[in-house]
Amino acid sequence: MRQARCTTQEPRSVVSEILNTYRCINRGRPNLNRISNLCYTFFSMIIGIDLGGTKIAGVLTTPSGKIIMDVQIPTEAQKGKKQVIANIKKAVRMLIHSHKAKVSAIGIGAPGPILYEKGIVIEAPNLPGWKKVHLKNILEKEFKLPIFVDNDANCAALAEARFGAGKSAKHFIYMTVSTGIGGGIIIDNKLYRGAIGSAGEFGHMKIADSSPKCGCGNYGCLEALASGSALKKMTGMNAISVELAARQGEKKARQAIRELAHYLAIGIANLINAFNPEMVIIGGGLSNMRELIVSPVKKEFKKYALSLPAKSVRIVRAKLGTKAGVLGAAALCL
């Protein structure tokens, strides 16, 4: 089954954004140079692609994060690496050809560990046959544009930094709580990748002596105790069903969420002690449980964090939802 979905925004909305910006920054006489510079900024577009196990999502966006067009096509992971790469190229072509805008660069967010400088996907869970794929080289040859490749959690952190909940913060921690747990570290407005690009793997912090076996092969990891998969092991239900049951007052579901929030609070307190961030932004599927999960975390982390950094930190939900992946991939180009 092959499906493509496109939504195009009226060019008029882009023009109105330019005019609104113009009105805000120039209350005096018209300044045509300023407007033409703004037009240049707006019409030099970037592309962000989020490579997932089931779908490839992409956007054509302005550098200020205004989405001009988005596409979604099936990844077809089971057909192998070649087909997946062909589908990535197809999504990029759909975006490039949709508007006559100049595209200046393409960013790709991919699952699993990535060698950022070289743009190599070391291996990608859920994508059979993906070992040491030189995605940057392959796409540079095809499109003759600068290509940036990074891990999807780093991309989501970058998206929140540029366009979302972390826009006003210089130092923050982004934690995605979904089937697994990952994250990104923003220091001085920049993404911190570490020596080989593997920083931000918060899911594998050790926070207990024992737990069900983690995906990394170890025990006691945050991911083994506080992720969507951990919740499923505890309750036999997926996160949406657990949330529904908890909201209907079912004790077992409430207890499971409380336990999960307890471990998240320990993990977040460790990060607050280590990094002294202005904010901790919680994203990913489980953050959709809103106050069910965020409120107990907000209360409990103070028990484990040092009092000074605990007083100044704000714990908030991510703002960009499902668009964080594509916008973050685009933000790699900025």
Compute the least distance from the CB of residue 267 to Zn ion, in Å.
12
- Tokens for 22, please give them: 């113009």
Reference 149, options 137, 160, 159; nearest CA is: 137
The answer to whether the CB of 101 falls within 8 A of the CB of 45 is: yes
- The verdict on 207 binding Zn ion (CB under 5 A) reads no
Site membership for Zn ion, residue 214 (CB under 5 A): yes
CB 53 within 8 A of CB 84: no
Cα angle at 108 between 51 and 116, to 5 degrees?
Answer: 120
Of 240 and 274, the one with the shorter C-beta distance to Zn ion is 274
**By C-beta, is 204 or 298 nearer to Zn ion?**
204
CB burial string 292-315: b at 16+ within 10 A, e below: bbbebbbebbeebbeeebbeebeb
CB 318 within 8 A of CB 183: no
Which among 54-62, 221-229, 235-243, 295-303 is the span making contact with Zn ion, rule CB under 5 A?
221-229
Instruction: Output the smallest distance, CB 224 to Zn ion, in A.
Output: 6
Which residue among 221, 269, 280, 330 contacts Zn ion (CB under 5 A)? 221
Interface residue with Zn ion among 136, 193, 204, 323 (CB under 5 A) is: 204
Q: Which residue is listed with tokens 């070289």?
A: 118
- Structure tokens belonging to residue 41: 């900024």
Residue count at the site for Zn ion (CB under 5 A)? 5
By the rule CB under 5 A, 267 interacts with Zn ion: no
User: Rounded distance, CA 309 to CA 276, Å?
Assistant: 5
Return the number of the residue (226 or 279) whose C-beta is nearest Zn ion: 226
Rounded to a whole number of angstroms, the minimum distance from the CB of residue 329 to Zn ion is 25
Output the smallest distance, CB 274 to Zn ion, in A.
18
User: Residue 229 Cβ, how far from Zn ion at the closest point, in Å?
Assistant: 11
Q: Does 216 bind Zn ion (CB under 5 A)?
A: yes
Binding site for Zn ion (CB under 5 A): 204, 214, 216, 218, 221
